[in-house]
A and B are shown apart, each in its own frame.
Chain A
């Protein structure tokens, strides 16, 4: 669905895709977290709406909402470990799958760290909401630099800690758990493939009416 969301540039199919997510969200019972990420995406989208308005590409903001919330469904329901395992079993080199899972897993850690850093700088009189647009962007420098520095420092430490636990010592790794596909997985795969095929078909052969044409 994420792919489908990227395919379309106009409002109506994106709305359809957006609505199509509801059954998945409710099935996965992640409504609350999903709504929260929708709120986050909305904020970003409003920003993009605004900047894009000047260049009159209003739709790009909507692409972000529709695609972003689909990302949310994916990451809220899939543990990074399983994702890494899936990559590994589809013969992606372990170095890559490991880097990927580590990156995903460290997102919440970084978010928490960003919060602590913001607190520390606020305690030194930093007011993030103060000033005009450019000043506000500059206000984030004291937050971003410590965040980047500590992320680099952390990754170096992580590399050392992993190497001291014999990371990469053998070429052939074994896994404690294996992944198997169940009936439900095939059903879901079928549904998503169908949506994708329909999306391609609509994109190529069905003339999608634009909002203006629909109402005028």
Chain B
């Protein structure tokens, strides 16, 4: 469980990136943190594994305050996948890349081999086991970066902009993959601008603006809340846009899911025909 209480954070340059943020993420929850560039999203999640320590307030992971432990210890529980895979890939083969963290955490050789096989399989990278990560495409490198974090099976997974540079098929795989993690009661936190991806996943959405949380609730409610979205310069998901325009016909505006939209439209269609 992640408990953030009254956190303020000021960068050494003097920029105040977080202004009194409080947030609780329960075990097994799926949260999307959204907001404009510079709203403080990445700064906030960097507090979850201790990369940044609050200037004021506290961040606790499973009851342990992040200021009282090391990043390495926290990372064992909190896996953090960075936005740009090129900021972490350095090994000669994909296999070694994934083994890096496992060695750092002091896993046994057998366990390392087992976890590598498992992680490669999970992200359909098995064929690249002995390939250099630098030879892979952008999307594949992103998956290697993800695999290299998932390999140690952290309880909490944080992903910064996981959909950037991914084609639609990969996004869909990522979505299914998160569903799978949810089934294992893992906590997933994503930082993203991708409104359509969030609409498809329908997680809890936390909206940030200028270092503060301005809205927090079900994806379906937040992503159809015109005022809250306008405040953080986020556009409605396409389905919500259609239903906003159809509102004068007496249809619900509160729709972001394709299948729900289809049902509502079919119902309305049927009413008109009879």
Contacts and interface: CB of A to CB of B under 8 A. Distances in A.
B70 A127 contact: yes
Contact of B46 (A119, A126, A149): A119
A146 B88 contact: yes
B118 to A, nearest CB: 17
Contact of A122 (B71, B105, B134, B149): B71
Interface string B85-117: 011111000000000110011000000000000
B82 interface: yes
B49 interface: yes
Contact of B87 (A125, A141, A146): A146
Q: Report the interface size class on chain A.
A: 10 to 19
Contacts of B49: 123
A92 B76 CA distance: 54
B9 interface: no
Interface string A109-127: 0000100110111111111
A146 B89 contact: yes
B75 A150 contact: no
A153 B86 contact: yes
B87 A122 contact: no
A150 B149 contact: no
A142 interface: yes
A126 B80 contact: no
Interface in B17-65: 46, 49, 51
A145 interface: yes
Nearest to B74: A123
Contacts of B75: 122-125
Interface residues of B, number: 25
Chain B CB within 10 Å, residue with most, of A116, A122, A126: A122
A12 B134 CA distance: 52
B88 A120 contact: yes
B76 A125 contact: yes
B266 interface: no
Given A126-B104, A127-B104, A141 B70 contact: no
A75 B251 CA distance: 63
Interface string A56-85: 000000000000000000000000000000
Contacts of B66: none
Contacts of B79: 123
A127 B72 contact: yes
Chain B CB within 10 Å, residue with most, of A125, A126, A127: A125
B82 A120 contact: yes
B87 A124 contact: no
B134 A149 contact: yes
B96 to A, nearest CB: 11
B148 interface: yes
B87 A120 contact: yes
Nearest to B101: A124
Interface of A: 113, 116-117, 119-127, 141-142, 145-146, 149-150, 153
Given A120-B82, A149-B89, 6 more contacts: A120-B87, A124-B75, A124-B88, A124-B104, A142-B100, A153-B86
